[in-house]
Chains A and B, each alone.
Chain A
Amino acid sequence: MTLLLAVVIGVLYAGGLYMMLRRSLGTLIIGLALLSHAANLLIFTVSGLARGRPPLLPDNGVPAGPVSDPLPQALILTAIVIGFGVLAFTLTLMHRTYQITGSEDIDELRSTE
């Protein structure tokens, strides 16, 4: 499964990067979202996959058996929320840029004027 997920991550990265390399504002957003998924999945996969053992403790507080690693999950949880914040901000900025410049070609945004 690690191999399969590694391929999924590779495809997500390649897709995200390709979308960001295009000159259009709209594809930049899509690319950003894809990259964010790719990064989250990367952390998740690298920390070791364990099928169906959530890091929840029974009532007595002592784990019944091995559970999946809670720390990467906490990291990813943070990353998902921050990724959303960044995406929302970028999206608004892009929209505003398009409104002002009337173009969605990033190559036309070279000057700071």
Chain B
Amino acid sequence: MLTAVASGFILAILVALVRRISSPAAGWFLAALPACLAAYFSSQASRVWRGGPILEHHTWAPGMGVALDFRLDGLSLLFALLITVIGAFVLVYSGKYLRDRARLGRLYGLLLFFMASMLGLVLAGNLLLLYVFWELTSISSYLLIGFENQRAAARSAALQALLVTVLGGLCLLAGIVLLGNIGGSFEITALLAQGDAIRAHALYPAALSLILIGAFTKSAQFPFHFWLPKAMEAPTPVSAYLHAATMVKAGVYLLARLNPALGGTTAWTAALVAVGVVTMVGGAVLALNKTDLKQILAYSTVSVLGMLVFLIGLGTPLAFQAMAVYLVAHGLYKGALFLVAGAVEHETGTRDIGKLGALFKSMPVTASASVLAALSMAGLPPMLGFTGKELLYESALHAPVHAGLLTTAAVAAGALLFILAAAAGFGPFFGGGRHSGADVHEAPSALWIGPLVLATGGLVLGLAPALMNAAVRSATLAVAPAAATPVDLALFHGLSPALVLSAVSAGGGLALYSLHGRLIVAGDGLKPLAQWGPASIYDRAVGALNRIAVTQTGLLQTGYLRHYMQMVIVTTVALVIAGIVRWAALPQMVGPVGPQFHEAVLAVAIIIATIFAVRSTSRLAAVAALGVVGIGVSLIFALFGAPDLAMTQLTVESLIVILLVLVMYHLPDFGVFGPRRYRLRNLIVSAAGGITMTLLVLTAASVQYAPPISTYYVENSYTQAHGRNIVNVIITDFRALDTLGETTVVAASAAGVWAILRLRSRKGFFK
């Protein structure tokens, strides 16, 4: 499985390295990889269905509990097949779809990169590994939504999707860390085995909420749903692949995956059912007044994602079956419908359902694919969507609580999806829109083969749903090992209540479809409501963040050196004073050694010289005063047992004075700039800095954290390094490497000085 995931990344990198792939035919070529992977996963199917999960282990960072663990069970297998099969058709499709041939290679590379990340996500056997792939899919989604990066709308949609999903991703990471701490491992297999202990843990609510936020943002659940319709700025094959069939289902996958570890509690059920139902109905309602094909499909995807979350929340064996079946059904029909929408736009130049109609004669193959997919979406027999929807109604009818309410919501969503399916999949080909279809031709084969195969898949599986029995059983076993029941899918179950409900929702949908035109107009009247929606909250939050950033930058980044210095000084003063206060150590006013007269004179001389240097306006007087300070300091070194320091300081001080006199000779006298109050403020700030340092010295001199480590040097200086001047031995032997660094600094500064001086010799360089 590592090979399967890695091959996608490797091919993506190869495509990126081969700089120009402009041939649409390359798509057929590249599609070989997902096709082979799909074949590989199919070959593993019987083993998984009969024998249980296949585990694979590679070490990565054992010290941190992160391993390249992969786990292929019924749930992962279902996702892996969806990802690879749809991926193959999307690659074929993209070659013909994109008109800007020069950027085709980039699209291929990103699609392959996404495919590999998504495969990694569903195959990961370690939560931290899963998180890595999770974020990789967010990043590839960002790059793909903003693919047409010359358009501002695409860029802002990409950023919005990234911010929302990454915000959720960060919550997810925190939740994973909590979960790992509760369970003592990040291994999914280990965590799933100790669900009872995890649910009883005090940190369970926190971990659950964080993980739910991660899953809800990724799967566009209310109130985070708004990024998904905006993500339709992406090229259509991307929308079909990432934002309908696979990536947006990552949240659903995570919930299903962690169900044995986290699921079953009241909080879990309440959160998933409530959010799922609101998203399921709300998404479909919001789709009603849209006229753009992709917008209709996007909102209906939101609705279906809500349905899947709702089904996981219900937690009955039947609901898990419904989830698995609808997952496949939706991947097939929604992928097909998106690709059809792209083909229609490719041929007619528009996606507006008001302008499309009667295209059947010009595009018969595309139309057939579209109608098949729409039938599945509408939940009509004999499509897989019908089986899935029956199971949904059945699960809602048998819901442990609020069965009536949930059934109503499910039927309403079914009816609304019916309308949307008719509007998006049927209308453009048979409706009475303005487009005559006379000047329109059938789409090239690369554009219709994907939708046709996917939609036909929905038909075949709908006619013989028993083909999916083993796969669905294995998937439900992975979602709820305890509640496994035999699976017996059939197209016709006899006259059941669910069938009656299907008739009701289809009839209602049909009745409402005739009013669709008026619903679109009515929806426009509700637009002012959008300003209270989550999307505008997002806009306001981002706007506020930008304003804060601008204000703060204006406040802190003035461009004046003295402002930066004042900030540094004031911050340091505040932190040091806070530290001293917190330490609560009264500075020791009397040191171990009292001052003698000559030392006191020396100290006072330094102080006077410093004040003189500061007050002087003459540069040479200031340099002289600085020299006095330096000599005073070296005398202090000499008096308190540091002859080496005294000698070095004296030498360096002489050099500095000579250097300063030489250079200062060319500079004017110190200018006095700025009004008086500036100087007063400088005085106050620097005085505060000085006082703080005095307090710091007194505090530091009166405490001792640990015994000095110098004893080692004193004891070993002669015996090991054969030197009697301990300071010298430290510098040249014990800490020789530090001295090498010091020498390097001096050499670098000498080189800098030399370079600057050489610049001067080139006359007129700066003029």
Contacts and interface: CB of A to CB of B under 8 A. Distances in A.
Interface of A: 1-27, 29-30, 33-34, 37-38, 40-42, 44-63, 67-71, 73-74, 76-78, 80-89, 91-96, 98-100, 104-107, 109-111
A47 B593 CA distance: 13
A30 B622 contact: yes
A8 B610 CA distance: 9
Contacts of B760: 96, 99
A47 to B, nearest CB: 8
Given A14-B686, A70-B713, A49 B694 contact: no
Contacts, number: 305
A104 to B, nearest CB: 6
A20 B641 CA distance: 32
B642 A44 contact: yes
Contact of B749 (A7, A44, A62, A88): A88
Given A10-B690, A78-B738, A1 B591 contact: yes
A24 B746 CA distance: 26
Contacts of B485: none
A58 B659 contact: no
Interface stretch (B140-148, B281-289, B528-536, B598-606): B598-606
Given A70-B713, A81-B746, A24 B673 contact: yes
B591 A85 contact: no
Given A3-B591, A4-B603, A14-B689, A54 B643 contact: yes
Interface of B: 559-562, 565-566, 569, 588-596, 599-600, 603, 606-607, 610-611, 613-614, 619, 622-623, 626, 629-630, 633, 636-637, 639-645, 648-649, 652, 655-656, 659-660, 663-664, 666-674, 679, 682-683, 685-687, 689-691, 693-698, 700-701, 708-710, 713-714, 717-719, 724-727, 730-731, 735, 738-739, 742, 745-746, 748-750, 752-753, 756-757, 759-760, 766
A46 B639 CA distance: 16
Contact of A49 (B591, B645, B731): B591
A91 B663 contact: yes
A74 B757 contact: no
Contacts of B672: 22, 24
Contact of B666 (A7, A38, A49, A95): A95
Contact of B730 (A58, A70, A81, A89): A70
A20 B689 CA distance: 12
Contact of A30 (B599, B613, B697, B738): B613
Nearest to A87: B656
Given A11-B610, A21-B562, A82 B591 contact: no
A70 B682 contact: no
Nearest to A69: B710
Contacts of B746: 81-82, 84-85
Contact of A68 (B603, B641, B660, B687): B641
B698 A6 contact: yes
A94 B569 CA distance: 23
B607 A23 contact: no
Contacts of A56: 643, 724-726
A5 B697 contact: yes
B693 A42 contact: yes
25 contacts: A1-B595, A2-B590, A2-B592, A3-B591, A5-B603, A10-B694, A11-B690, A12-B606, A15-B614, A15-B686, A21-B562, A27-B622, A40-B649, A48-B701, A55-B727, A56-B726, A58-B724, A78-B738, A78-B739, A84-B656, A86-B745, A88-B750, A98-B667, A106-B562, A110-B559
Contacts of A49: 591-593, 640
Given A10-B690, A15-B614, A104-B667, 9 more contacts: A3-B589, A11-B690, A12-B606, A12-B690, A46-B697, A70-B727, A71-B730, A77-B727, A105-B673
Contact of B560 (A40, A41, A96, A110): A110
Contacts of A22: 562, 670, 672-673, 679, 682
Contacts of A9: 693-694, 697
Contacts of B698: 2-3, 6
